[in-house]
Chain A
Amino acid sequence: MAKKSKKGAPTDVRIKLIRYSLHHPKTPRPLRFGTMRMLRHWTIHRAWKLYQAAQRKEREYELERQYNKMRDACEELRLTSPGLYERAVAKSIFRYPIVEFRIPTDTPAKNGWNHEWKRG
């Protein structure tokens, strides 16, 4: 496992790397900024926080609107037709994961979208 030379220093290069990063003269590495540079950094940080908060709020509002629409539709369904409502809100026992789902990637697939898919 650990090869040790005669003097006791390990020859395993991974251990060398760990020691390098632990005892490097620049570890840890605090950056020293001048006043104007610090102000710019602070401005960027504040702007980013504001931006993230706005994005988060927008996402929350969109979800809330979707939920409200769904709730109102189900309520209307319940008032018009109890039978349809029951069948709409009944939980199904059989639920399978969908194999064909794809997560978004940075660049498209080689084959692109399969427009020629046929049933059966």
Chain B
Amino acid sequence: MNLLSRYLPERLGGHSVPFFQPRHAFQPPPVDTPPVNPPLVNPPLANPPAVDPTKGSLKPVEAHGEFPRKDWWDIAAGVVISRPPLLTRDLPEFEQSYYFYQRRLNDRLQLPFARWFYFKKGTLAEDEWKRKQAAEERYQPYGPRAWADELLKGSTEHKLDPLKDYERLVATTVTGEEETMSIMQARRESAKEAEARGEEVEYPPEIVEKPFPRTTQADIENNTKRLDRKMSRTLYLVVKKKRDQHAWRFPQSRLSGKWEHLRWGAQRTLLEAAGPNMNTWFVGSAPIGLYKYKYPPGYAQNQVGKKVFFMKARILAGQANLTNNKQDLEDFQWLAKDELKEVVGNKYYKAVQHMLVAQ
């Protein structure tokens, strides 16, 4: 037996050697001596159940069959492709005010700022620091009003806003802009001159880079096809089939071919439905959820209904494209979990909701 087959289970062709061998192998007592402590075993049931749960209740073992499968349920692979959040979550009001409270307490508990450590006496940086600290009216943890550290009613100081933080940072900390101001000015002027002459020029970036806002154009328009909408939430892809009722679904299709398993089926489904221009990663090969439904009577000869096993995938770049799709799809949307509820039917949502992430 080679290195691999040692540890594989028997049914996959291995020898099932456990990783850890016990130090002393258990020696059962000889047969003629009676056992000292009888083993604790559940007594056999008086009325054993008619159906053996490990074998399934619908059909005898023979009906499982070899490949190709002759099941009584159609098996389909569905894809739950998600765009995980790109931004940290929006903090609710309570958390924002609590963190503000903690910041104030921290200011009071820390030692006063040791300016002499960071700025040498007589430098331009020290002058800039003194000017900026004096300019704004800020809470002084060591002054005469140190006791007034709580947030007043109606104040919005606790609200978190990256742009406001950036402006406060530029206004209260040393950025070295006085020194570099003239240099930046000269660079900008030379860039303008070069543009006037007709050369291609890149303008020099800002000294302290401004952050981009957390909401984009897609948020304002509520364009559900874009992937930069609701960047702090997880978005899921749903596609619209050409029918009146139950149109919006996760992409799915029946397993085709003799050797196709769930992960391959899901990859093929996504390719056929949404096109190749998506950089995706399928998480493992086990299904994350199941949607089972019966066909109306007379719909199919052998099959009772369909079982859709959903596979989890994540999109890393790209966009869905429904042109030349082989599944008769009209439209697609990227929706968060709560938006999904209105678009997809109630029954489908109930079957599917626990696979999805709310945030």
Residues of A participating in the B interface, judged by any CB pair closer than 8 Å = 13, 16-17, 20-21, 24, 26-27, 29, 31, 40, 44, 47-48, 51, 62, 65-66, 68-70, 72-74, 76-77, 79-84, 86-90, 92, 98, 100-102, 104-110, 112-119
**A98→B316 contact, CB < 8 A:** yes
Task: Kindly identify which residue among B12, B111, B212, B292 contacts A107, using a CB–CB cutoff of 8 Å.
Answer: B212
- Contact flag A102-B114 (CB < 8 Å), given A69-B289, A73-B309, A80-B75: no
Chain A residues, CB < 8 A from B216: 108, 112
Minimum CB distance partner of B58 in chain A: A79
Contact surface of B with A, Cβ cutoff 8 Å: 11-12, 56, 64, 67, 69, 71, 73, 75, 84-89, 94-95, 98, 101, 105, 108-111, 114, 117, 150, 162, 211-214, 216, 226-228, 231-232, 261-263, 276-279, 281, 285-290, 292, 307, 309-310, 316-319, 354-355, 357-358
| Additional A-B contact list (16), CB under 8 Å, known A29-B109, A76-B307 | A17-B117, A31-B109, A70-B287, A73-B310, A79-B56, A80-B56, A80-B75, A88-B261, A88-B285, A90-B12, A100-B317, A107-B162, A108-B212, A108-B213, A108-B214, A115-B227
User: Of A13, A29, A118, which one neighbours B111 at CB under 8 angstroms?
Assistant: A29
Which listed residue (A73, A98, A105) contacts B86, Cβ 8 A? A105
Q: Report chain A residues within 8 Å CB of B358.
A: 62
Q: Give the Cβ gap from B229 to chain A, nearest Cβ, in Å.
A: 9
Q: Give 25 pairs: A residue, B residue, CB < 8 Å, sorted on A.
A: A17-B114, A31-B109, A44-B98, A47-B94, A48-B98, A62-B357, A65-B354, A66-B357, A69-B355, A70-B287, A76-B307, A77-B262, A81-B71, A86-B12, A90-B12, A100-B279, A107-B87, A107-B162, A108-B87, A109-B212, A112-B216, A114-B318, A117-B278, A117-B318, A119-B318
Chain A residues, Cβ within 8 Å of B73: 80
Q: Which residues of A contact B67 (CB under 8 A)?
A: 83
B285 in contact with A92 (CB, 8 Å): yes
CB distance from A21 to the nearest CB of B (A): 6
Q: In the assembly, what is the distance between CA of A118 and CA of B275, in Å?
A: 10
Cα distance A87–B77 in the bound complex, in angstroms: 14
**Chain A contacts for B101, CB-based, 8 A:** 44
- Which of B69, B261, B279 is within 8 Å of A117, CB to CB? B279
Contact partner, B85, options A86, A98, A104, Cβ 8 Å: A104
Closest Cβ of chain B to A100, distance in Å, is 4
Given A62-B357, A106-B162, A113-B227, also A80-B307 (CB < 8 A): yes
B354 contacts A108, C-beta separation under 8 Å: no
Whether B111 contacts A26 by the Cβ 8 Å rule is yes
In the bound complex, CA of A65 to CA of B279 (Å)? 28
Check if B289 sits within 8 Å of A70, measured CB to CB.
yes
| Closest A residue, CB atoms, query B92 | A51
